[in-house]
Amino acid sequence: MKILVIEDEERVAMPIKKGLEELGFPTTIASDGLAGKRLALSGAFDLVITDILLPEINGIELCRSIRHEFPHMPIIMLTALGTTDEKVEGFDSGTNDYMVKPFDFRELYVRVRELLKRSNAVGGNAKKILLSAGSLEMNVHTMIVKRGDQEINLTRKEFKLLEYMLNNQGRVLTRAEIAENVWETAFDTGTNFVDVYINYLRKKIDRGFDKKLIHTRPGIGFILKEQV
């Protein structure tokens, strides 16, 4: 499994490369976004780790380019800030996971391992194509979402969140569970990105409809079910 690290700070990139190669992952470093994009789009890598602040092309734009060409490529984004707005922008661009510098290499390894495991499983399991709740319908294959006759445009993360809630409708989902299964990361109680995305979904699938689908359970989490 080959890994591409796109990081302009050598003091960050080299320890990652050394650690990954000691664990058996051949690792290549790109020191700017343009070189990183060229390498990532070559199709030679199984996972990408990229910083946000990069010369030439930033990590957000880079992530969008990779995701456009390789929809299932695992991507981990690195940043020195880790604010909610920055995480939302990163997830919207298509990143799978997010790590704030400085971080423990052991945690990075666990996330790399889990993302590669999930990536290898893509296409290996049967997946329900059509999901619905009340007048809401989702086609997982075409990524078309409708409520009644109205087509709803969702970002990639909004789609993944809604898909998870539809697959678990009628059950209260905690923020930690949503973060783990949709963002494939541990929930950071210092940020509210799960609530932010829940609000995004509410505005798109519930606003203007009498029967609401997404409900809050105070102190617990959220549930998707048709209101009766």
Domain residues of the chain, as ranges? Answer: 3-121, 130-224
CA distance to 36, 53, 103, per residue, from 14 (Å)? 15, 17, 14
Q: What share of the chain is helix, strand, coil (3-state, %, to 5)?
A: 40, 20, 40
Quick one: pLDDT at residue 188? 64
The pTM (predicted TM-score) of the whole model is: 0.57
Quick one: pLDDT at residue 228? 53
> Per CATH, is 3-121 categorized as 3.40.1010.20?
no
CATH of domain 130-224: 1.10.10.10
Strands (E), the chain: 3-6, 27-30, 47-51, 75-79, 97-100, 130-133, 136-139, 144-147, 150-152, 173-174, 214-217, 221-224
Q: How many residues does the chain have?
A: 228
Residues 6+ apart with CB under 8 A from 88: 193, 196, 197
Is residue 209 within 8 Å of residue 147, measured between CB atoms?
yes
Quick one: pLDDT at residue 128? 57
Mean pLDDT by 10 residues, the chain (228 residues): 92 94 92 92 89 90 88 87 74 86 90 84 53 89 87 92 91 90 71 90 92 92 83
How far apart CA 74 and CA 120 sit, in angstroms, is: 10
Quick one: pLDDT at residue 186? 65
